[in-house]
Every structure is written in structure tokens, then in C-alpha cells.
Structure 1
Amino acid sequence: MSLLTATCLVMGNIIGGGIFLLPASVAPFGTVSLVAFGVLTIGAVALALVFGRLAERHPDTGGPYVYAREAFGDFAGFLSAWSYWTMTWVSNAALAVAAVGYVHVLFPGRASAGTDLLVALGALWLPAIANFAGTRYVGAVQLVSTVLKFVPLLFIAVVGLFFFDPDNLGSFNAGGGSAVGGMSAAAAILLYSYVGVESAAMSAGEVRDPERNVGRATVLGTIGAAVVYLLGTLAVFGSVAHDKLVNSKAPFSDAVDAMFGGHWGGTLVAGAAVVSIIGALNGWTLMSAQSPYAAAKDGLFPAAFLTKRRGVPTFGVLAAAVLASVLTVINYFIGSGGVFEILVLITTFSATVPYLLAAGAQVYFLLTGRRDKVRPARFARDLTLALVAFGFTFWLVAGAGYAAIYQGVLFLFAGILVYAWMAARRAGRREDQAGAAATPPAHRPQPDAVPEKVS
């Protein structure tokens, strides 16, 4: 992947389907939510810079898993890989279900659960097929989908500034109480807007000149997503009356209708949302295979995840697509029991575990005198960035909520059984190898000595 493709991978994975509801989600807190977004952007850029520094030192596929394992050993590396892997395929199922709602806007009419299920499964398997075709096709889909969703969103964001009316903003702290409390409440909703910042680092082995391009792609992709987020939210805040925005089910559609009149905004935004979700699924499907692939190389995941074709770990792609499909079927036929909602809660916590371990790994490398292997003579700046990134990720954990942390920790600890199984297999292989090395070679008869010829 080139620098442009890697940048689109980062931006496409960060900007999923949630942005189309984001302004309405934070509108109840007032414009203090824009301040919260700005603070979160600083933390996300710091995390992006940390991933860039770490990729310079270890430009291999696996990203956060590689850093955690090198700094803290096999168990920490496994926890990073396990958390990231489960987060990706559960998130893919949630994205596929979200795509169905936007498809209904594009194609109105009576729909059944069976039709919705087919649409959701199609949203999962089309990106999987692109991944089976190889990294080049993944990059092409990501490039096209990022452009198709970035251009209309940026158009709304920029044009919306010309229709900006300060009277539509409402109060600064509409939620009441202290401004700090309102900012924290808004941040709890916005926190996961930047999940995906690690995408280029996760696929570093498939990026051209990764020592340079992974860091650049990570920062550029994060900043590009931040521009869309901040300008888009500001444009919607300024073009849609606050009392209407609070109850809006399609804030960007309402913004387009307010700018140009008519009711065609819903179709435009729904089309952009479908493209955005398919692009995000394309990138996240690749991410779902990269972490277990890197762990399998070290014997921490089953060897089947090592199957690779044209730069893509195909077994990992297949496993993630199958598991996400199972969750999607559960959502449509057994979802009343809340199983799907619990699993989505798990992802909100699971996403933070690799981030915390990666930021901690950078702090470890710097404090143990190994800073020369990351960035020479820049100890103070790199340490500050690592601490800001760690604080940002810690804030993510706090914002996940008690239910998400509780469910996520249970699922994280369930992975210990998998680690124990893989560790036992590795120990058995080592014993077999040690025994084979200690066994003396079988006795072989020596040929009879040939008497010397007497002259």
C-alpha cells in the first residue's frame, strides 16, 4: 500500500457510520461538545504520533500486538491480539446492521427480517471478497470509498458554514450543571469516534516504506477525519435549530434540507452513509485478520491464521466474516434476549486494551534507555506524547461505562483459556525438541579397517 492508500485506510476506518448521527447525539449538551471534540482530537493525534514512532522501530504487521509483546512479553501480547480481534469482528456485525437502516432510506418500501438479514450479510461478505482478492484490491476499494464519503461530508461541512446562523446553536452548556461536567458527558459519547487510528500500524508489513509512511499515514488520516468531524458537526449545529437537532434522527439530512430546501438531503446522506459503512467494513475486515496473523507467527494463536494470500491473511478474513455473520443472524432472530447488545458493549472496552498496552510499551522503551531505537535525542517530546496518549486511552476506558467494562473484562479473561491452551502446545513442542536434541544418535557399525599395503 502506498502512503495515499494507507492514509485512506486510517481515515476510512475512523469514519464509519456513526458520524451521520453524531451531531444529534451530542446536541443535548450544547456547544460545549465542540470543545470536548477539540480536546479528544488532541489526544487522538498524540496516539497517532505514538503509533508512528513505534512503527519506525518495529514496522511489522500486527501493530499494537507487536509492541505489547516486545515490551511486556507473550501474555501481554496475547491480550492485545485477543482484545483487538474480538473487537473487530463484533464491530463488523454492528456496522452491517447499521447499513440496513440507510439502505431502507435509499430503497423505501416494505421490508422483512429476511430481506434485512440478506442486506446485512451482503454488507459483510462483499468487503470480505475484496480482501480475498489481495491487498491491492483492499486499497483500491478503500481509496474509492473514502473519496466518495469524504467529498459529500466535506461539502456539507464547508457549504454549511455559509448558512451558519449563531441563533441555531443554543446555549453553551445546554445540559445544565458545570461546563466541565457537560464536556465530560459529551466526551463519553464522542470518545470512540477515533477508534481506527492504529490501522496503518496494524498493516505495517503491507505498507510501502513503513518506517516513514506508517507514521505519516496515521497522522494524516487522523487529522483528515478530525476535519470532517469538527467542521461537519459545526455546520450541522449552525444550520439546524437546536430544538430540532436534539430530536433529529438524520442530522446531516436535516442540514442539507435547511441549506437547499426540499427533502432530497435524506437520499444523499443515506447514500454517503452506505458507502462510508462499506468502506469501513472493507478496512476493518483486513484489521480483523492482521492481529491474529501476527500472534500466530509467535505461536500465540492457532497456526491456521498464518494462511496468507496476496498480502492478506485469508483464514483470518474468513473467520471474522463467519463470526460476524453468526452475530448478525443472532441479532435478527434471537436479538430479543439482548445478546447482540452485550457483545457490542464488549467492543467498547476491547478497543482500549491494545491502545493502553501500546502507549505503555512506548513509555517502557523510553524509560529503559531504549529511546535511541525509537527516536534519537527526542526523549522529552516522545515521552510527553506517550503520556498524553496513555491519558487519552485511559479516558476512553473511563468513558466506556461500568457495563461495558464489566462485560469486556469477562470476555478478556475468557481468552486466558485460549492462551493456556496455546502455551501448553508450545511447551510440549519445546520438550519434544529438547528430547530429540538430547537423544544420542543411533549406533552405526564402523567399516572394517583396511590394512595398510606393505610395499
Structure 2
Amino acid sequence: MDDRHTRRFGLGTATCLVMGNIIGGGIFLLPASVAPFGTVSLVAFGVLTVGAVALALVFGRLAERHPDTGGPYVYAREAFGDFAGFLSAWSYWTMTWVSNAALAVAIVGYVHVLVPGRPSDTTDLAIALGALWLPALANFAGTRYIGLVQTVSTVLKFIPLLFIAVVGLFFFDPANLGSFHEGSGSALGGMSAAAAILLYSYVGVESAAMSAGEVRDPERNVGRATVLGTIGSAVVYLLGTVAVFGTVAHDKLVKSQAPFSDAVNAMFGGHWGGTVVALAAVVSIIGALNGWTLMSAQSPYAAAKDGLFPAPFLTKRRGVPTFGVVAAGVLASALTVINYLLGSGGVFEILVLITTFSATVPYLLAAGAQVYFLLSGRRDKVRPARFARDLTLALTAFGFTFWLVAGAGYAAIYQGVLFLFAGILVYAWMAARRTARREEAETATTPPTPADHEAVPPPAASAAAPPHTT
């Protein structure tokens, strides 16, 4: 297909894709989640931001060499082979569709704030499924419409969040902050505990690299979009959290179910803050689902091109792997149905734990790939080749990702590893099929050898030539 028709994302749209995927629904509860640890959690957030920016820069360097759809999968496969590439694609794919189900469930509460009524499981299920499939329809329409939805939703959620963050600084009261460190133990322990909650705030930093095949001038724009999107998200996260900490009294913030709503009410009075924040949350989650729906199709598409995922994932229309969108939508819908109709909250929680570990596997392999490319002397793969700087960034990104794994907790790692290893069966099946096809092709193209035929005696001399005469 013509490159002009498939590469629809410019720098602005790619940046919105990164920001839209990073900023989902979790930001609206984040300040209350870390408030029990004190303001040391703001220090933890700053440290995590440095690691996220380093990871963003690493993805930008890798995308300069490999501006192809699949991002982390592509880098892992070239550095470490098919199996590592498959593990990256499998983990990322798992994370996306389970996360989509979690986002769809999260949006239900905010919709009830905007449209009051008596909730029921049937109504909640309908809202959650609608939240899953409306973004899927935008994906079916093609990358042009994905970019439009992503740009609009990012602007609509970025403006109110940034407004609260900036205006909140004018209402900032240090007396609301509480102590630097709350609870027993050291401040360092409190920072680590807060970091464990904040760790996944930056999942989505790889979004532009994952869709590099649909970005115009990807060698240049993927890295820029990744860094700009990550920094933009960090500004909203950090300023927003500081504003809430400074406008809502600490004892109230610790118990808050809607910290941004409480901050709006504290700044302007009244009780309308909940409606404003609920509207921003709905827009934010819809935008995140729009971007993550595309991500859920990109990784298996890239792996299918190399024969590591089933061939139907190659089905593509208007720049979007449509089969991958449908597959992720069906799986996410199934989880949502399980959550509401069967009441199997335990099953759903286990799968969410799996995603927290699954998100780190592609990051770890991508950062490791960068280290490998540098140490093996293949400077051309990570242009511009300033070895010391790039190696420092790669090691920082690796350390950040390793911290993500450690922060996931024992339960998440245990469940995640089991699910990761379950993918080995899929890899074995696809590898066996590739081997069989390769052997068939070799058999069909290899010329026959003498051993393949019965020996035929040469013709008699009298029959071969006329008698000799003088």
C-alpha cells in the first residue's frame, strides 16, 4: 500500500497518542492513593519521571534504526532472536486487552456521576461494553480517524487537568501538606512504597514506537513524540498532584474518593467539582481506550509478519490491523462479562495483576536490546552514536524497568510469569509450522540427486554407433 495512505500520524498526533495512552483514569485517584505516605511521594514521582524520560529517549534512539510497527517487539527480536521477540509481543498483547477491560470497568463509576440513576449490573455491563467498542469503531475507520479522536480527547482532558494543576498553585496552602513522611519506617521506605503505587503511571511511553509504521518521517518524529508526550504527561501528573496536596487538607485527602473533585470544590466552593472531574475522566478513559485498542493490534501484527503469531493478525485495512482490534475487543469483552455477570472479582483481579508484570517485559527487553547494540559495537543501530550518553540512558532505562518489576509485587510476578510461560505453547506451535513450511519449500526447490533414480545401464556399443569401417 502507498506510504502516503498508511502513515497518517504527524508529530502532533503521535505526541497525543503517547499522552493519551499514558494518562488514563488512574490520575484521578492518584493523589489520594499516595497521600498516606506523605509528601515524600512527590519525591518518588520525580525519580520515576527521570526514569520514564530515559526510557522514552531509548525508544527514540531505537526507532531511528527500526521505524517499523511493533516497537519493543522489533528491537527484542533483532537483538535476542525469535523467542525473545515472541515473549515481548505476547506480554504486550496480554497487557493491552486486559488493561482495556480494566479501563472499561473504571469508566462506569464516572458515567453514573454524569447520568445519575439506579445502577444495575446490566446497565453497568452495557456502559462498559460500549466504552470498549466505540473506540474499536474509530479504529476500524482507519488511522486518520484514530488520530482525530486521539487529538481531540487529549486536548479535552489535558486542558481541565492542567487548569486544575496551575490554578491550584494559587490556592496552595503549605498547611495542607502534612508531614514529609507518614507512618512507621524510614523516609526511604515510604518513598519506595509510594513508588510501588506510582510505577505504572508512565505505561504507554512506547506508544509512538509501537505505531512507528503509521508515523510520517518515523526516524525523526517517533523519538520526538515519545519524549514530548512523556514530558507533557509528567507535567500534568506532577503539577496536578502538587495542586491537590496543597488545596485539600491531608487528613481529608487520605480518605478522599475523588481528590480532584475535592480540590475543585476547595478552590471555588460548591459541590460541582465532581461533575467537572467526572466529565474529564470519561473523556480521558475514552481517549486511552482509543489508543490502547490500536496498540493491542500492532504488536501481534508485527509478530505475525515474522510468523510468530497466527496469520489472521496480518489482516490490515486503512493502516489498522483489524483482526487484532476484533480479537482484543472480544477478549476484553469476555473479561468484562466475567466481572459483571459471574461476579468473579477474584479472577479479574488476578488478570489485572498479570498485566502489571506483563507491561514490564517488553520494556526490559527493549532496554536490554539497546545495551546489546551499544556493547556489541553496532553503533549504526542507535544513531546518533554518542556512546557514553546512550549507554547511560540505556542503563537508566533498564534500572527503571527493573524497578517496575520489583514494584509489581510477588503476587503480580508469580501470576505474570505463569501466564508468560503459557505463551511458550503458542510459540512452539508457530515455530513447528514455520519449520514444516520451510522444509516443504526446500523439498520443492531442491533438484533430484542420482540416488533418487534407479540406475539405468548404458546402451550397448552396437546400438550406440554404427560398425567401424575403413
Q: Which residue of 2 aligns with 1:422?
A: 430
Deviation at 1:337, TM superposition (A): 5.4
| CA displacement, residues 364-410 of structure 1 (integer Å, 9 cap, x when unaligned) | 00000101331244000000000000000000000000000000000
Aligned counterpart for 2:203 among listed residues 181, 190, 195: 195
| CA-to-aligned-CA distance 1:29-84 (integer Å, 9 cap, x gap) | 00000000000000000000000000001100000000000000000000000000
Q: Which of the pair has more CA radius of gyration?
A: 2
Deviation at 1:109, TM superposition (A): 1.6
Q: Paired residue for 1:149, among 137, 142, 157?
A: 157
Q: Which residue does 1:446 correspond to in 2?
A: none
Contact persistence 2:91–2:420 (CA under 8 A): yes
Alpha-carbon distance, 1:177 to partner = 1.6
Question: What is the aligned counterpart of 1:379 among 379, 387, 390?
Answer: 387
Which residue does the alignment assign to 1:339?
Answer: 347
In the other structure, the counterpart of 1:69 is 77
The residue correspondences of 1:358-377 to structure 2 (distance < 5 A) are 358-377=366-385
Match of 1:116 in 2: 124
Q: Verify: 1:351 aligned to 2:364, yes or no.
A: no
- 1:336 CA drift (Å): 3.2
* Counterpart AA for 1:207: V
Q: What is the alpha-carbon distance in structure 1 between the residues aligned to residue 183 and residue 392 of structure 2? A: 33
Distance 1:324 1:96 in 2: 9
Report the equivalent of 2:181.
173
* Separation in 2, partners of 1:235, 1:67: 39
User: Would the alpha carbon gap of residues 391 and 4 (structure 1) be closer, same or farther in structure 2, given more than 3 Å must change?
Assistant: same
2:268 equivalent to 1:268: no
1:392 corresponds in structure 2 to 400
Hey, what does 1:449 align to over in structure 2?
none
**CA separation in 2, counterparts of 1:122 and 1:373?**
43
Alpha-carbon RMSD: 1.2
Where does residue 298 of structure 1 map in the other structure?
A: 306
Q: TM-score, normalised by structure 1?
A: 0.96
CA deviation string 1:96-135 (max 9, x = no partner): 0000010011111201100000000000000000000000
Checking the alignment, whether the CA contact within 8 Å between 2:164 and 2:240 is kept in structure 1 is yes
Equivalent-residue separation in structure 1 for 2:167 and 2:109 (angstroms):
26
Is residue 2:256 matched to residue 1:277?
A: no
Secondary structure of 1:110's aligned partner = coil
Structure 2 distance, partners of 1:133, 1:261, is 43
Q: Give the secondary-structure state (helix, strand or coil) at the position aligned to 1:299.
A: coil
Which one is further off, 432-441 or 40-49? 432-441
1:401 paired with 2:409, answer yes
More deviation, 232-241/327-336: 327-336
Distance, in Å, in 2 between the alignment partners of 1:377 and 1:142 is 33
Match runs of 1:39-78 below 5 Å = 39-78=47-86
- Over residues 4-30 of structure 1, what are the superposed CA-to-partner deviations in whole Å (9 max), with x where a residue is unaligned? 000000000000000000000000000
Deviation at 1:333, TM superposition (A): 1.5
Q: 2:334 aligns with which of 326, 330, 334?
A: 326
TM-score, normalised to structure 2's length? 0.93
The one-letter amino acid paired with 1:287 is M
Identity %: 89
* Corresponding residue number in structure 1 for 2:171: 163
CA contact (8 A) 2:49 2:234 kept: yes
1:48 alignment partner, SS class: helix
Shift in alpha-carbon separation, 1:362–1:99, aligned structure 2, 3 A: same
Q: Which ranges of structure 1 fall in alignment gaps of 5 or more residues?
A: 444-455
In structure 2, what residue type is equivalent to 1:294?
Answer: A
Give the aligned length: 443
Question: 1:176, CA displacement in angstroms?
Answer: 2.9
Task: State how far apart, in whole Å, the 1-side matches of 2:383 and 2:317 are.
Answer: 34
Q: Any conservation in 1 of the 2:65–2:380 contact (CA below 8 Å)? A: no
Q: Which runs of 4+ in 1 moved over 2 A?
A: 439-443
